[in-house]
Amino acid sequence: MDLLKRYKNIYDTNILLMYKGEVTFDLVTSIIETLDGRIGEIESDRLIKKKFYGAATECIQNLYHHMDEVSDETIDTYDSKAGLLMVTSRKKFFNIMTGNFIPNDKINTIKGKLDNINSLDKDELKKLYKEILYNGEFSDRGTAGLGFVEIARKTGQKLSYEFHTVNEDYSYFTFQIRVSRVKKEELTEA
């Protein structure tokens, strides 16, 4: 174990928020307000703040909407109702990472949606968004599957994800997105 390397990584990564636990409606509101304040302290560009806020809100709401899909009895070695959220800031980007348990029978559906979103360009994402908005069926949670599409649209980034098998019934789903802190003008000048 290279402790110096880990120290440098922690030092270079400004952790804005880290949370592990049950995600409730009140907590969602509190986390979003906390992040809004923290971002306001370190980022002055309004467009970047807007992109970050939109992506972070969608990520946190995704955690909230899918926490009740896991039964406490089937995962006895972990806190099955706990979601994980970590938001970090680097010089060129913000990083939003979430993790939660999901039923294995939902993996193919989620993977298919994410892979489809990642295969689309900006115009195709806009078209998909409108199609889901107008034709999508809303679940009992009030969602129509727009969250991941909205994150990809707002950030202009590919969605990064993994599934880690926990047992025959459940896996741990990790999701990560980066929100660039570099303005488009700065990218073309570099």
The verdict on residue 190 lying in a domain is no
Provide the 3-class DSSP secondary structure of residue 10: helix
pLDDT at 87: 95
CATH code where residue 59 lies: 3.30.565.10
**E-assigned strand segments in 90-134:** 93-103
Is 103 within a domain? Answer: yes
**119 CB-contact burial (10 Å; exposed 0-12 / middle 13-18 / buried 19+):** exposed
The whole-number pLDDT of residue 100 equals 92
pLDDT at position 178 is 96
Q: Evaluate whether 70 touches 80 at the Cβ level (below 8 Å).
A: yes
Domain assignment present for 135:
yes
In a domain, 83, yes or no: yes
State residue 13's pLDDT score: 76
Residues contacting residue 133 through CB under 8 Å, at least 6 positions apart: 144, 146
**pLDDT score for 1:** 59
Asked if the structure places residue 30 within a domain, the reply is yes
Query: Domain tally for the chain?
Result: 1
Per-residue pLDDT averaged across 8-18, rounded?
81
Please give the model's pTM, rounded to 2 decimal places.
0.84
pLDDT of residue 9: 73
Q: What is the mean pLDDT of residues 32-38?
A: 92
- Domain containing residue 72: 3-183
Is residue 188 one of the residues assigned to a domain? no
**What are the counts of helices (DSSP H) followed by strands (DSSP E) for the chain?**
7, 5
Distance, in Å, from the CA atom of 35 to the CA atom of 41, rounded to the nearest integer, reads: 10
Ramachandran angles phi, psi of 13, nearest 5°: -100, 115
